[in-house]
Amino acid sequence: MNNKEGFFVKVFNIQNKRFPIFKLAGKCGVIVVTSSGNSLCETVHYLKRIMQGWGIVCIHTLAIPVTNYVDIENTETNAEIMKCAEYIRNFLYGSEKPKSNYYLEQYYQTLKKMYLPIRGSEHYEVKYWNDNGFFEFNSFQELLESRYMEK
């Protein structure tokens, strides 16, 4: 994100300090980005990595190039917004379930390998993993399935 606003940089920095240990693991998220510049892809990638680092599963991405107000009201943009709303509705009503991806699986396995040797300690990150049963799963997908099986 070449043109990140200072406010959002501060928000992300604060959140990175609050959620370093997968506290949002298994939650679903949607990325919505508009830009009048050429940084849509970079911004989406940046936000996706932040979400995945927190354990959030990105269920849909909406990236809309906007050069003026008319761009927001065109038919194609409205169709994309409706498609995004449909994805959200499907997850809210349980007809769709979140799925893991390569990055989330690798990150989960890395954290698990890092915390397993000190599983019995009172370190706050390890304690969080113990309290939430994260060590019991073989994969991040298993963690997701356990959270969404009854819904």
**pLDDT tens per residue, the chain (151 residues)?**
445 555 555 555 555 555 556 788 888 999 999 888 778 888 899 899 889 888 999 999 999 888 777 766 777 888 889 999 998 999 888 888 889 999 999 999 999 999 999 999 888 888 989 999 999 999 999 999 998 875 4
Secondary structure of residue 63 in the 3-state scheme: strand
Rounded-to-integer distance, Cα 63 and Cα 48, Å: 12
Question: Which spans in 6-123 are helix H?
Answer: 6-18, 40-53, 69-72, 75-92, 102-115
Q: For 22-148, CATH number? A: 3.40.50.360
Instruction: Note the pLDDT of residue 71.
Output: 67
Q: pTM of the prediction?
A: 0.77
